[in-house]
Chains A and B, each alone.
Chain A
Amino acid sequence: MASYPAGYKYTKDHEWLELSGDRGKVGITDYAQQQLGDVVYVELPELGAKLKQGQSFGTIESVKAVSELYAPVSGEVVEVNAALKDKPEIVNADPHGSWMIVVKLTNAGESDGLLDASRYQDLVK
């Protein structure tokens, strides 16, 4: 049984958000990586990209499918995890540690509407 970090927030599209002040790391959940299977490419936005909540910020591609990545909150992309370009498979091995982007939030209130770990766990049960 996968464990979902209690300190993270989650979206119904299976992204997680780890908040730290006005910044948040974004990745995909263990459930999402299981659904995708072996990840072979992760396409991420440019630094400085402005995202709206729910907007696609990239794509993740496995052997069998390609999926959009959706921004859990609005904000500016201030960091991009370059390691995923050469080692996309770490998303399978460590989904909750493999962050994709860091967003500087423009509307801190938005994260209140996301799911906490127990509610997300119910969703994917």
Chain B
Amino acid sequence: MEQATEAPLKKTPLNARHRASGARMVAFGGWDMPVEYSGIVAEHLAVRTRAGLFDVSHMGQIEIAGKDAVAAVQRISSNDASKLAVGQAQYSGLLTGQGTFIDDLLVYRLAPAHFLLVVNASHIPKDYAWIAEQIKPAGDAVAVDASSRYALLALQGPAALDVLQPLTGVELAGMKYYWFANGEVASVRATISRTGYTGEDGFEIFVPPQSADRVWQAILESGKAADVIPAGLGARDTLRLEAAMRLHGNDIDETTTVLEADLSWIVGWKKDDFIGAAALREQKANGVTRKIVGFEVLDRGIARQGYDAYVGGAKVGVVTSGTQTPFLKKAIGMAYLPAEHTAAGTEFDVDIRGRRTRARVVPMPFYKRPK
């Protein structure tokens, strides 16, 4: 089935652990990553009902520091970093001048003039080169690709807090969503962030690479009674899709603007200027001609990435993500459609390998965790 690629794949510090645990490994964005351990469905349900532990050390970390770090981040990131307190994070876009996505990212404010950007694994060199060049006019600020200094674990699910708390002195219950704190996990220096990519409560834990395996083992040991299991990128994808979180390379890329992706909330509209601002302000004034929608497949079949969408026999759009969701047990996805066909309840067809299949626009997210 899959053929080995020529270029050697990069490995996270947990690679040997994944292989020893019997994970199925795949090439993902140039990395040798676990796609599943016990199966996508079992891992997905574990995260929705208990907790799952992910290795996401392939993600990139770029730090920006210096007297003018705020101005530098404000220029390259679409969201308003001046609103961040130290210890707080926000989702944002790294945009082209056209307001489209070079990448999406999380921006952490480590100190008043020190930021950590977490970017997608396959884009680290491209993002870093872009950022280093584009922050030059901002003044005294420097960008460093710090990816090799961090391993990143994600513990996600309703049991995450109870599993992690015994391992750390950081008081987790008081940590708000999208805030973070420094401390120790299993006696390892760590930054703990109440964030994730699953639509579930949980934490992302930055640790030094040489200590990643120790923390991984400690979390699984602490989670044994709650039946916490390791989870792979397969479940990460189905979970994030249920939660309607966009995936760069699928739902957003350099051809789709922030407004078309329905992510207006990650734009700091009141900021002076940032890359892509003019294009987005113009598009906001004029309105978008196409927009992302969430949909459910009404007939049998999964509408997958790249499948064409039709209205009345005419090709009008394309599916950007699609799967059969293990928790909701139906085929869902995201697609770009002309603005006039994006109201909830609108029906359209997807060409599933030559067969026209009915689908219906539904509000996103598909899944929202109980409070």
Nearest residue (CB) in A for B304 is: A66
In the assembled complex, A35 has its CB within 8 A of some CB on chain B: yes
Q: With a CB–CB cut-off of 8 A, which chain B residues contact A40? A: 302, 324
Report B120 CB to chain A, min CB distance, Å.
19
Please tell me if the beta carbons of B302 and A66 are within 8 angstroms of each other in the complex: yes
Please tell me if the beta carbons of A63 and B353 are within 8 angstroms of each other in the complex: no
- Name the interface size band of chain A: 10 to 19
In the assembled complex, A125 has its CB within 8 A of some CB on chain B: no
Please tell me if the beta carbons of B300 and A64 are within 8 angstroms of each other in the complex: no
Please tell me if the beta carbons of B1 and A63 are within 8 angstroms of each other in the complex: no
Q: With a CB–CB cut-off of 8 A, which chain B residues contact A45? A: none
Number of interface residues of B (CB under 8 A): 18
Q: Which residue, A35, A38, A64, has most C-beta atoms of chain B within 10 A?
A: A64
Please tell me if the beta carbons of B234 and A66 are within 8 angstroms of each other in the complex: no
In the assembled complex, A59 has its CB within 8 A of some CB on chain B: yes
> 1/0 contact trace for A23-38 toward B, CB 8 Å?
0000000000011011
In the assembled complex, B301 has its CB within 8 A of some CB on chain A: yes
Please tell me if the beta carbons of A63 and B41 are within 8 angstroms of each other in the complex: yes
In the assembled complex, B12 has its CB within 8 A of some CB on chain A: no
Interface residues in A49-71 (C-beta closer than 8 Å to B): 59, 61, 63-64, 66-67
Please tell me if the beta carbons of A63 and B301 are within 8 angstroms of each other in the complex: no
Please tell me if the beta carbons of B35 and A61 are within 8 angstroms of each other in the complex: no
Q: With a CB–CB cut-off of 8 A, which chain B residues contact A35? A: 1
Nearest residue (CB) in B for A14 is: B1
Q: With a CB–CB cut-off of 8 A, which chain B residues contact A8? A: none
Please tell me if the beta carbons of A61 and B301 are within 8 angstroms of each other in the complex: yes
In the assembled complex, A4 has its CB within 8 A of some CB on chain B: no
Please tell me if the beta carbons of B234 and A64 are within 8 angstroms of each other in the complex: yes
Please tell me if the beta carbons of A41 and B302 are within 8 angstroms of each other in the complex: yes
Contact of A64 among B35, B301, B353 (CB under 8 A): B35
Q: With a CB–CB cut-off of 8 A, which chain B residues contact A61? A: 301-302, 324
Given A63-B41, A63-B324, the answer on whether A37 and B36 have CB atoms closer than 8 Å is yes
Nearest residue (CB) in B for A68 is: B353
> 1/0 contact trace for B44-76 toward A, CB 8 Å?
000000000000000000000000000000000
Give the complex CA separation of A38 and B237 in angstroms: 14
Give the complex CA separation of A34 and B35 in angstroms: 12
Give the complex CA separation of A67 and B302 in angstroms: 13
Please tell me if the beta carbons of B300 and A63 are within 8 angstroms of each other in the complex: no
Please tell me if the beta carbons of A38 and B326 are within 8 angstroms of each other in the complex: yes
Please tell me if the beta carbons of A41 and B323 are within 8 angstroms of each other in the complex: no
Give the complex CA separation of A61 and B353 in angstroms: 12
Q: With a CB–CB cut-off of 8 A, which chain B residues contact A64? A: 35, 40, 234, 237, 323
In the assembled complex, B139 has its CB within 8 A of some CB on chain A: no
Give the complex CA separation of A38 and B302 in angstroms: 13
Report B237 CB to chain A, min CB distance, Å.
8
Nearest residue (CB) in A for B40 is: A63
Give the complex CA separation of A59 and B354 in angstroms: 12
Q: With a CB–CB cut-off of 8 A, which chain A residues contact B326? A: 38, 63
> 1/0 contact trace for B270-313 toward A, CB 8 Å?
00000000000000000000000000000011101000000000
Please tell me if the beta carbons of A66 and B353 are within 8 angstroms of each other in the complex: yes
What 4 A-B pairs are tightest by C-beta distance, nearest first? A40-B324, A38-B41, A63-B40, A35-B1
Can you show 20 pairs from A to B with CB atoms below 8 A apart? A35-B1, A37-B234, A38-B40, A38-B41, A40-B302, A40-B324, A41-B300, A41-B302, A41-B324, A61-B301, A61-B302, A61-B324, A63-B41, A63-B234, A63-B238, A63-B323, A63-B326, A64-B237, A66-B302, A66-B353
A interface list, Cβ under 8 A from B: 34-35, 37-38, 40-41, 59, 61, 63-64, 66-67
